[in-house]
Amino acid sequence: MGMLENREFTIDQRLLSVRNTYVVKDRHGQQLGFIKQEFVSLGPKFWLEDNAGVHLGEIDGKVITVHHEYEIKDKDGQVKGKVKKKILKLFGSEWWMEDADGHELARINGNIVHHTYDIVAPDKTTIARVHLNWATIRDEYCIEIVKQDFDPLLVLGYAIAMDHVEHQERSPVFGKILGR
């Protein structure tokens, strides 16, 4: 079974790597592949690859925008969706996901600071659940995709975009030095 055919994932961030690298595993702990950040790029850029190094998709952060925005692209470079975060909000965070044409696919509900939240469709049905496992040394996200026909690439892309932005906002000086 390929990485993007799964419905449950664990994403571990490697602590000692030159660039942000995440190991993607299935619910049984079997490694499925990696999500890696480009070392030098204009804006944050990540790519997904399986264990054999086959390119599965990309997550491209926009540099000039009125809010944080990431495009999620498939292996052929076609935009599958966009993840956006409102920059100025009095309390908490506001994240949403759009398709390639700008139609809303989902809103994110829950506690972004504690990394426990649901990705919810406009009809209020749950698409996926994401939770940060606090009992580990490194960041470990547990992801369960509830809506069976929803593209796992979009959920994985959202989790990486959120992790990147939240780390950068908590540590603005070191985040910029480390490319986060």
pLDDT digits over 50-92, tens only? 999 999 999 999 877 767 899 999 999 999 999 998 776 555 5
What was the pLDDT predicted at 116? 83
- Output helix, strand, coil percentages for the chain, rounded to the nearest 5: 15, 40, 40
> Is 0.75 topped by the overall pTM?
yes
Lowest mean pLDDT among 25-29, 95-99, 110-114: 110-114
The kind and range of the H/E element at 24 are strand 21-25
Q: How many CB atoms lie within 10 A of CB 21?
A: 16
Tokens 């009809």 belong to: 123
Name the amino acid, one letter, at 37.
Q
Query: Which residue has better confidence, 96 or 115?
Result: 96
How large a percentage of the chain has pLDDT more than 90? 54
